[in-house]
Amino acid sequence: MKFLTLRSAFLVCTLVAAPLVAADKTDAPKAPAVKLPPQPPDVAAPKMGTNGLPNEAFLKAHASFVATAKQGKAQLVFLGDSITAGWNGNGKAVWTNSFAKYQPANFGIGGDKTQHVLWRIENGELDGIKPKAAVIMIGTNNSGSDDAPGIARGVTKIVEFIRKKTPKTKILLLAVFPRGDKPEGNLGAANEKLKQVNAILAKLDDGKHVHFLDIGDKFVPGAGPISKDIMPDFLHLSAAGYQIWADAITPKLAELMK
């Protein structure tokens, strides 16, 4: 009888405790998102996650670009955000047909701002290579958080670092592409800011090492709006959009790659 009593007590304790353990696992509070201070557009910084740590996908892509650079083969480098990264997506066939002969490397990461590209090139993405040319198009993701002079300072820092790191590289600096579906104000307020950015960037053209090129009008016939056939979401390019991009820079790029 004593054995049965002890055994019964053990079972009761086990049944009572089990739900408590399960409840602890199920109802465990999640770590709150960390509120991060703003990142200045002209100060190198990695892309951060909501946990206050560098974004893992960003770091993974960066590591792959560093590995590509260390191979020492790339003669043409594209630097930018998701619009540049899209050469590996909607623009893949156009990329192959237009740039494969130049041994190109695509260093574009979705969501990147000027400070992120600056951090990437300061942390190894140009180590091991001395490309003949670099194509830069960055800044649209800064348009919601930074003013035009700040965005321009960020792009200028990128240009200055490339000039210092690999002085023989010719830089094809593209005006930030137009965006949005609003025809007023040449496609809206965001584009008014980007027009100001582009006006500042145009002054970086020295005719020797830095060449500024604004191909925005190739995407927007007349006063707009942008066609969905070119930018389905009024920001990212379709295959037709990438063909427009390639056709617009091919003559200048051929000159810089000699």
Q: From the candidates 146, 236, 238, 247, which is the catalytic residue? A: 236
| Residue 143 appears among annotated catalytic residues | no
Q: From the candidates 127, 206, 217, 233, which is the catalytic residue? A: 233
Token pair of 222, please?
A: 């007349």
Q: From the candidates 82, 181, 209, 214, which is the catalytic residue? A: 82
Four-CA torsion 55, 60, 61, 64, nearest 10 degrees: 160
* Cα–Cα distance, 16 to 214 (Å, whole number): 71
Place of tokens 């740039």: 99
* Cα–Cα distance, 62 to 1 (Å, whole number): 70
* Contact between residue 170 and residue 133 where contact means Cβ atoms under 8 Å apart: yes
Write down the H helix ranges in 100-147: 114-122
| Residue 236 appears among annotated catalytic residues | yes
Q: 7, 162, 179: which is closest to 79 by C-alpha?
A: 162
Three-class DSSP category at 76: strand
Q: Which residues are catalytic?
A: 82, 233, 236
